[in-house]
Amino acid sequence: MSPLSSWRLWSCTITIANNTLYWRSDILDFLSNIVQQVITVIYSFLHGIGFPNYGVAIIIMTVLVKLILYPLTKKQIESTKAMMELQPKMKAIQEKYKDDKQRLNMELANLYKSEGVNPLAGCLPLLVQMPIMIGIFYGIRDFQYEGSASFLWMQSISNPDPTYILPVLSALTTFIASKQTMPAGGGAQNKMMMYFMPLFIGYISLTFPAGLVLYWVVMNIMQIGQQYMMDKAAAK
């Protein structure tokens, strides 16, 4: 096989170079280009008012994205939380009718109906948001900064945070956001993920550009705030 081979498949480019496979999607490229253009426009606006800063531009873009996607986020969180609260009842039914698949499916359907829960309700919002989130990831990760890219204590947000402050914040805010959506009496698997994911996010944040980790931290803070408001409204 030649050192560089490339195929087109369903609007995706699959490339093998030096025995490594690379996959790119036209849709993701389109979305990441939009993200980069939005950051550039916001940066140009900040430059016009005498405060050119890419870190602030990323923060503003993140806030705008979270506000626009809030209805979908709200629907997804509510559905996911409802399904997690049903887990004990679902496990009891699965254990009781484990030898009768037809009765099992019928009883689960009755449970969903009686509790007013649609097990697929959280999928559509997630499917809509996922390409956008991936586009933002690639857009910020591959962004070409022009001029100074300094922000707060960092000389350049195009490089990983040398102080590890942002990776720690990414892990901490991920944990808080996960804990907020964890229902009382959540299963052992859910509790394990609540601790594993923050550690994983913090670990990979050590090698990511600081601008990308900054986006993740701000997104988590927005998520925590939105979840707090939803919980407060539900308690009334």
Question: 180 pLDDT band (50/70/90 cuts)?
Answer: confident
Q: What's the pLDDT score for residue 4?
A: 45
Q: What's the pLDDT score for residue 113?
A: 79
For the cut 90, the answer to whether the pLDDT of residue 226 exceeds it is no
Q: What's the pLDDT score for residue 187?
A: 60
Q: How far is CA 116 from the centre of its chain?
A: 27
Q: What single-letter amino acid sits at 157?
A: I
For the cut 60, the answer to whether the pLDDT of residue 184 exceeds it is no
For the cut 80, the answer to whether the pLDDT of residue 51 exceeds it is yes
Instruction: Please tell me the pTM assigned to this model.
Output: 0.73
Question: Domain map of the chain by residue range?
Answer: 4-235
Q: Give the span between the Cα atoms of 6 and 28, in whole angstroms.
A: 18
Q: Which helix (H) or strand (E) holds 9?
A: strand 4-9
The more confidently predicted of residues 25 and 232 is 232
The more confidently predicted of residues 117 and 11 is 117
| Whole-Å CA distances, 178 to 81, 126, 132 | 11, 16, 21
As a three-state string, the secondary structure of 91-149 is HHHHHHCCCCHHHHHHHHHHHHHHHCCCCCCCHHHHHHHHHHHHHHHHHHHCCCCCCCC
pLDDT digits (tens, 9 = 90+) for 64-106: 998 988 888 777 777 777 777 777 788 888 887 777 788 888 8
Crossing angle of the two packed helices 70-85 and 87-96, in degrees rounded to 10: 50
Average pLDDT, the chain: 80
Mean pLDDT on 29-49: 91
pLDDT digits (tens, 9 = 90+) for 6-32: 444 344 444 444 444 445 567 778 888
Q: Give the span between the Cα atoms of 171 and 216, in whole angstroms.
A: 10
For the cut 90, the answer to whether the pLDDT of residue 45 exceeds it is yes
